[in-house]
Amino acid sequence: MSDPSEKPTSGAGCLLRTYWMFAGNVIAAFLGIFIAQQKGDFYTSKDILYWLAVVSVIVARYLDIRFTNGQTAEGTPATMKNWERHSMVLGAVALLAWIVCHLVSSTRG
């Protein structure tokens, strides 16, 4: 049973949560695949879009926590500490994935 003192989640909060939990990561993943499929090119528009997608996920998580009663993936109230941890892990994983995508790309030719 939910706590009656909890504020209901707004439509904006649901959209932000859906974006940072799923859609933004899917966009970044597809861009990573596109980077890996190119033939050795470096610093293309795909790279810029990839990093914009990663940054947009971090910003969406911040906005969710700061302005829309953000929650964790488990449904508990999120804090700025959750945002900091998420940002650091996502940044590290995104950097590693980006490097791997370019390594794959460089073997293509």
Q: Which residues contact 66 (CB under 8 A, 6 or more apart)?
A: 80
Q: Distance (Å, rounded) from C-alpha 57 to C-alpha 102?
A: 21
2 falls within a domain: no
**pTM score over 0.85:** yes
52 falls within a domain: yes
3 has pLDDT over 80: no
97 has pLDDT over 70: yes
How many domains would you assign to the chain? 1
90 falls within a domain: yes
Q: Distance (Å, rounded) from C-alpha 97 to C-alpha 29?
A: 9
4 falls within a domain: no
For range 83-103, the mean pLDDT: 97
36 falls within a domain: yes
Task: Print the domain residue range for 30.
Answer: 11-107
- What is the tens place of the pLDDT at every residue in 34-77? 999 988 777 899 999 999 999 999 999 999 999 999 998 888 99
102 falls within a domain: yes
pLDDT at 35: 95
